[in-house]
Amino acid sequence: MSDYSFNKQLRLLNASHYQVVFNNVHWKVSTKEFLLLCRPNELAQPRLGIVVAKKHVRLAVQRNRIKRLIRDSFRLNQHQLTGIDIIVLARKDAGLLNNTEVLNQTTGLWRRLLKRCQNDQQKSLAQ
């Protein structure tokens, strides 16, 4: 049975972890409401960081809801995204999305990111 937990090994825990991703972005994937910044890591599992600014999503209830939905979507897709550090940034209208729309968008973002990673791997193998 697969492990679908979201423990500490799957999180970017401190500012230095976030800074490494911000400074060394390898892939960007975005929609109108979300931006994913990603870089490869040397670990066997992916790690996730979430940034939902008060400037873009005013109410704490909405910020927490968005973070919870992103974590849940990541938790369900983590086994496909191995060896990647990911930061999800919520943009201005993210708070206007309902739960289904947030889950659909994040699932689509994981798929697009996976496709980009696979394309880069194929290119590096071809060289």
The stretch 88-97 carries a mean pLDDT of 94
The answer to whether 85 and 20 are in contact (CB under 8 A) is: yes
The two tokens of residue 1 are 């049975």
Please report the pLDDT score of residue 1 as a whole number.
44
Sign of the alpha-carbon torsion through 52, 57, 63, 66: negative
The stretch 4-23 carries a mean pLDDT of 91
The two tokens of residue 109 are 């973002």
- Kindly report the average pLDDT of the chain as a whole number: 92
**Domain residue ranges of the chain, discontinuous segments joined by +:** 8-126
The answer to whether 65 and 99 are in contact (CB under 8 A) is: yes
Tell me the three state secondary structure of residue 68. helix
Task: Report DSSP letters for 15-54, one per residue.
Answer: HHHHHHHHHS--EEEE-SSEEEEEEE-SSSS-EEEEE--T
The stretch 86-114 carries a mean pLDDT of 95
> pTM value?
0.91
The stretch 16-25 carries a mean pLDDT of 96
Tell me the three state secondary structure of residue 65. helix
Q: If one looks up domain 8-126 in CATH, what number appears?
A: 3.30.230.10
